[in-house]
Structure 1
Amino acid sequence: MPIVIILSPELEALLRNKAARQDRDVSLVASELLTSVLEWEVQESEAAIKGIQQGLDDFEARQFRSFHEFAQEQRRKYNLLADS
């Protein structure tokens, strides 16, 4: 069963322009874009779950540092000023 998606005029224009630049059918371009986004979303969710689990495992193994140590590292890493 086909799915009908209503796009804003601006988004439709972007999609049609992309398809025209690639000299491809707009439906195929839309399908590929949706596939890419959905695959990315799954990968990001899996990575987030893995990261959370690693954090829980580290905590249980008492392999962690204080918030103060974390904050100092982030300030150095991103060249941020210390809180007053």
Structure 2
Amino acid sequence: MSNNGTTRGPVPDPWLTGREVNVTVPATVAGDLDRMSGVLRSVLTQLGCPTCHSGFDLRFRQSLDFVVSPKGDVAPGIAQPFVG
């Protein structure tokens, strides 16, 4: 209870509150609501709460990376899978 007798809600973990979370997705995923729902579910699960994003500032960005070959050919950058 606070000093005036009102009940306060749980105090959020200060390490997590207000944290900016950047998620970069390719256009093929960003344009598909079902796939984006899966991305959101996976991100929230990895953040420790698969059912809410309270305390997180989620920012979805469309990937705009390009790679250039030694010959000068330009292609969209593709994220390499990581081995976990």
TM-score range, shorter chain: under 0.3
Whichever structure has more strand as a proportion of its residues is 2
Q: Which has the larger radius of gyration?
A: 1
Q: Which has the higher contact order (CA 8 A, sep 6+)?
A: 2
